[in-house]
Amino acid sequence: MDYADYLIQQGINAISLGSLYALVAVGLSIVFGILRLTNFAHGDMMMVGAFSTLLSSLAGVPFLWGIGIGVVAGAAGGMIMERVAYRPVRGAPDVTLLLTSLAVTYILENLGILVFGSSPKNFPLPDWLDTSWEFRDGALTFTSINVLTVALTVVSLLFLGWFVTRTTTGLGMRAAAEDMGAAHLVGLNVNRLIVAAFALASAYAGLAGVLWAAQAGVVQPLMGFTPLLKAFVAAIIGGFGSIGGALFGGYLLGTLEVAIVAFLPDEISPYRDPIVFALLIVFLLFRPGGILQPNREEKL
Amino acid sequence: MATLEAAPETHDAAAAPPLLAITDLTVSYGPVRALKGVSLHVEQGEVVALLGANGAGKSTTLRAISGLVRPRAGDIRLRGSSIMRLPPAKIVRNGVAHCPEGRRVFASLTVAENLRLGAASREDASGVDEDREKLLSLFPILRTRRNQTAGTLSGGEQQQLALARALMARPSLLLLDEPSLGVAPLLVRDIFRTLGQLKRQGVTMLLVEQNLSLALDIADRAYVLRTGEVRLSGVAEDLRDGERVAEAYLGSR
């Protein structure tokens, strides 16, 4: 029975970590799908979300409302980023877009350091979130943050599924991702769709940032960097540009990382990140379209 | 050398302006001039064919009308007011729907979702529902396949979907680019029969088509383009004299 408990516990960890990767990867894929832009500054919307929640908590806003503020702040950050940085270079070569996104990352991260300082700040949780449930004499532990992460991920992904299949804006975003010219021809306002894509993607990053900070207990301006790289790997593995692929890749990567630490010898587990990035290289070499291969035409 | 002339573009100034009037339209792709001062007009209720060899500038003309390419000079007027500097979405809103070459249906969306996006420019929900029902009756195969993704349809079915999607905008002017391209010959006849039906219902069309006889069957008038210029124009029946059209296509030898 002990081993079964261990497996279940690792499963919980995997789903929790995978949820965070999925939330970040989905946003990367939404923006890439419509603009063919790999937005490295996407991770910085996690910082925007987390710090907004932190500031609202310090101001006495109840935590659940604070999460909402983090999500909205992320969305607003994404819209501003699109307007200020990406719209002026719309239609420029891919390299220009890539360099622009790196520049935006550096500016945002240094701005974060300037405003908040580079040292990690304590991320206070309300008492009801600082609890955990133990089963089987402590062999199984659910923290309420795990539960909240999974619950909010499921709810927000259900919302995403509804949005991209039932609303004209969501359908339009998928249409524009597939064929921008035809989207123009049916009378879709592509500018508005692109803004909506950034808002949606960054809202998910904001949510991921809050949950990430809640799990880590601290926030700092560079917090988005590692999750962004991981989400990038997840999106590639799943199939870049596809929402389903991002979710699949996110959970797959979360499971893989937990498995590396849980099941491989202790001498290997420190190499978790190199293994993950080696996997990225393998995919880029042999299956650049990812497991789900969204579209056969090159997407990368 | 035969004299081939485009009939001068004249219009009775006292009458209402034509639905579409293009004057001296010039379009360049980089250093290449694709259109060199094209003038043409389409009256309300007319079907006008735009003929010519590959690269003559037919598709470019349609793309300029839809706002997908920015003309260098000239003017495009819809009912007398210029639409040339408007963004594509506004042009659709003004009543111009474009059924593009190669169909360009949204392959990962269902037939029903494609039709819904065709009406993206409209706000009259009840009118949209009504039009959808009408179009599904006009194209019964689309009703059968309404929940399939468009990528799974055959070429002919996709062409019908592209046409229906354009009509969902309830356009006052329908731009049709090569509706017979990549469609099985039997289905081409079906599609032109449907276009004939639409014509009788009063839909105004500007049609680009490689198949001369099909195009001249349905059109009231036609323009022949060659290397970005109108070389010949006139009433469709008069253009059935193949030699003149061939000369306009290929240039006089």
Residue carrying structure tokens 């880029």? A284
* Nearest-angstrom CA–CA distance, A151 and B150: 34
Residue B219 has pLDDT above 70, yes or no: yes
Q: Average the pLDDT over each of A98-112, B34-48, B224-238 and give the range with the smallest value.
A: B224-238
Q: Which of A192-206, A267-281, B18-32 is predicted with the least confidence, judged by mean pLDDT?
A: A267-281
A178 CB neighbours in chain B (<8 A) are: 106-109
Q: From CA A197, how far away is CA B195, in angstroms rounded?
A: 37
Q: Out of B39-43, B224-228, B244-248, pick the least confident.
A: B244-248
Pair A207, A71: CB distance under 8 Å: yes
pLDDT in the model for residue B166: 97
Record the tokens describing residue A246, joined without a space.
Answer: 């991002």
Cβ-Cβ contacts under 8 Å between A and B: the total is 67
Tokens of residue A24, six digits = 């970040």
Select the residue of B92, B108, B118 nearest A174 (Cβ to Cβ).
B108
Q: Which residues share a beta bridge with A219? A: A121
Mean pLDDT of B197-207: 95
Residue ranges with strand state E in A17-155: 121-122, 132-135, 140-143
Is B11 part of a structural domain of the chain?
Answer: no
Is residue B237 very low, low, confident or very high in pLDDT (cuts 50, 70, 90)? Answer: confident
Rounded to whole angstroms, the Cα distance separating A145 from A136 reads: 20
**Best residue in B113, B116, B149, B176 to probe A by mutation, most A CBs within 10 Å?**
B113
Nearest to B77 by CA among B14, B33, B32, B11: B11
Range of the domain at A211: 22-222
Mean pLDDT for B51-73 is 94
**How would you class A296 by CB atoms within 10 Å of its CB: exposed for 0-12, middle for 13-18, buried for 19 or more?**
exposed
d(CA B33, CA A271): 59
Q: Is the pLDDT of residue A233 over 60?
A: yes
Flag whether B59 is in a domain: yes
Q: Is residue B181 part of a domain?
A: yes
Instruction: Give the Cα separation of A56 and B194 in Å (integer).
Output: 61
The predicted structure's pLDDT at residue A107: 96
pLDDT category at A293 given cuts 50, 70, 90 is low
Residue B57: domain span: 20-250
Residue A3's pLDDT is 83
Statement: residue A44 has pLDDT above 80: yes
Q: What are phi and psi of A117, to 5 degrees?
A: 80, 160
Question: Between A269 and B107, where is the model more confident?
Answer: B107
Average pLDDT of chain A to the nearest whole number: 91
Among A69-83, B7-21, B99-113, the minimum mean pLDDT is found in B7-21
Domain tally for chain B?
1
For residue B98, the distance in angstroms to the closest alpha carbon of chain A comes to: 6
**CB spacing of B165 vs A184 below 8 angstroms:** no
Residue B10 forms part of a structural domain:
no
* Distance from C-alpha of A92 to C-alpha of A81, rounded to nearest angstrom: 17
Q: Identify any residues that bridge with B76 across adjacent strands, giving them in sequence order.
A: B22
For residues A143 and A209, give the distance between their C-alpha atoms in angstroms, rounded to a whole number. 18
CA distance B131 to B50: 28
Q: Judge whether B188 lies within some domain.
A: yes
Residues on chain B touching A181 (C-beta within 8 angstroms):
68, 100, 104
Q: Where do we find the tokens 């939330």?
A: A23
CA distance A59 to A61: 6
Using CA atoms, how far apart are residues A234 and A25, in angstroms rounded to an integer?
6
Label residue B133 by pLDDT band (50, 70, 90). very high
Give percent above pLDDT 70 in chain B.
92
Confidence of residue B10 (pLDDT cuts 50, 70, 90): low
A174 in reach of chain B (CB within 8 A): yes
- Whole-angstrom distance, CA of residue A223 vs CA of residue A228: 9
Q: What is the CATH number of the domain that holds B216?
A: 3.40.50.300
pLDDT at B35 over 90: yes
B132 interface with A at CB cutoff 8 Å? no
Tell me the CB-side half-sphere exposure of residue B158, using CA atoms within 13 A: 22
pLDDT tens per residue, range A96-123: 999 999 999 999 999 999 999 999 999 9
CB contact under 8 A, B88 and A185: yes
pLDDT at A149 over 80: yes
Has residue B246 got a pLDDT over 90?
no
Average pLDDT in chain B: 91
Q: How far is Cα A239 from Cα A175, in angstroms, rounded to an integer? A: 18
Residue A290 has what pLDDT? 86
Of A32, A21, A6, the closest CA to residue A231 belongs to A21
Q: Give the tokens for residue A137.
A: 């004499």
Nearest CA in chain A to B69: A181
- Is the minimum CB–CB distance between A185 and chain B shorter than 8 Å? yes
Pair of tokens at residue A10: 């690792």
- Residue at B3 is within a domain: no
Model pLDDT for residues B134-154, shown as the tens digit of each residue? 999 999 999 999 999 999 999
Helical pair A190-216 and A144-166, crossing angle rounded to 10 deg = 170
| Rama region for B171: left / alpha / beta (φ>0; ψ in -120 to 50; rest) | beta
Q: What is the ipTM score, two decimals?
A: 0.89
CB A95: neighbour CB atoms within 10 A?
8
Is A262 contained in some domain? no
DSSP symbols for A12-32: HHHHHHHHHHHHHHHHHHHHH
Number of domains in chain A: 1
Q: What is the pTM of this model?
A: 0.89
In chain B, how many H helices and how many E strands?
Answer: 9, 10
Asked whether residue A158 is assigned to any structural domain, the reply reads yes
**pLDDT above 70 coverage of chain A, percent:** 97
DSSP A83: I
The position carrying tokens 């999974």 is A150
- Which pLDDT belongs to residue B1? 38
A267 lies in some domain: no
- Which 8-state DSSP code applies to residue A89? G
Parallel, antiparallel, or unpaired for β B173-177 and B205-208? parallel
Q: What 3-state class would DSSP assign to A115?
A: helix
Question: What is the pLDDT at residue B3?
Answer: 44
